[in-house]
Structure 1
Amino acid sequence: METKSMELGKMDTSHRNEPTYLAWSIFSTFCCCLPLGIAAIICSCRVDNANTLGDAGKAQESSRIAKNLNIASLVLGLIVLILVIVMLVI
């Protein structure tokens, strides 16, 4: 007979949910770069779904992609902003 690692009435909290970066993705969509922000929102939703289903590998991968897309969107938005300011000054 197998021994159970959980006692009756206690939930298994050994898995951790990956961050979705959804708020950052929405900000990136409206303020930085629309195409990269939309892709980041899609990946953020995939993270949420994978967290709900308990698929840690897919959640981790989608979270990493969402984070990288948000960073790229922010950098691209800042570059465009700097270029616009430089063009206005010149």
Structure 2
Amino acid sequence: MEGTRPNVKSHMVWSIMTTLCCCLPLGVAAIICSRRAEQASMAGDASRAEEASRKAKILNIIGLVCGIVLIILIVALQLVAAKQLGG
């Protein structure tokens, strides 16, 4: 059917959450890719939309992992500091 738009996930909400909660630089890059996916989808360019969506997803996964690792490091450092002050 000609004239239909491809249904490609942009991952925009995930990108915004990555920016706000996990890793600012990767989140911003993911937002840019998400927006490109939306624009390509609106233009009917399925291959470009899928590529941008894939990049946004990868950036979000990396940003989430970085955020989790950072949280674990901060908690570990806080526990070490608390143990040293208490002992």
TM-score, length-scaled by structure 2: 0.86
Aligned: 1:24 with 2:14: yes
Residue pair 2:10, 2:53 contacting (<8 A) in 1 also: yes
- The match for 2:61 among 44, 63, 71 is 71
* Alpha-carbon separation, structure 2, partners of 1:22 and 1:89: 35
* Alpha-carbon separation, structure 2, partners of 1:43 and 1:16: 16
Greater per-residue helix proportion: 2
Query: Which string of whole-angstrom CA distances, capped at 9 and with x for unpartnered residues, describes residues 48-75 of structure 1?
Result: 0000000011000000000000000000
Aligned to 1:3: none
Percent identity, aligned pairs only, is: 49
Q: Which runs of 4+ in 1 moved over 3 A?
A: none
* Alpha-carbon separation, structure 2, partners of 1:71 and 1:50: 22
Letter paired with 1:33: C
Aligned: 1:60 with 2:50: yes
1:34/1:68 CA distance change after superposition, 3 Å:
same
Deviation at 1:16, TM superposition (A): 3.1
Larger radius of gyration: 1
Deviation at 1:26, TM superposition (A): 0.3
* Alpha-carbon separation, structure 2, partners of 1:73 and 1:39: 10
Residue pair 2:37, 2:52 contacting (<8 A) in 1 also: yes
Unaligned runs of 5+ in 1: 1-5
* Alpha-carbon separation, structure 2, partners of 1:30 and 1:72: 14
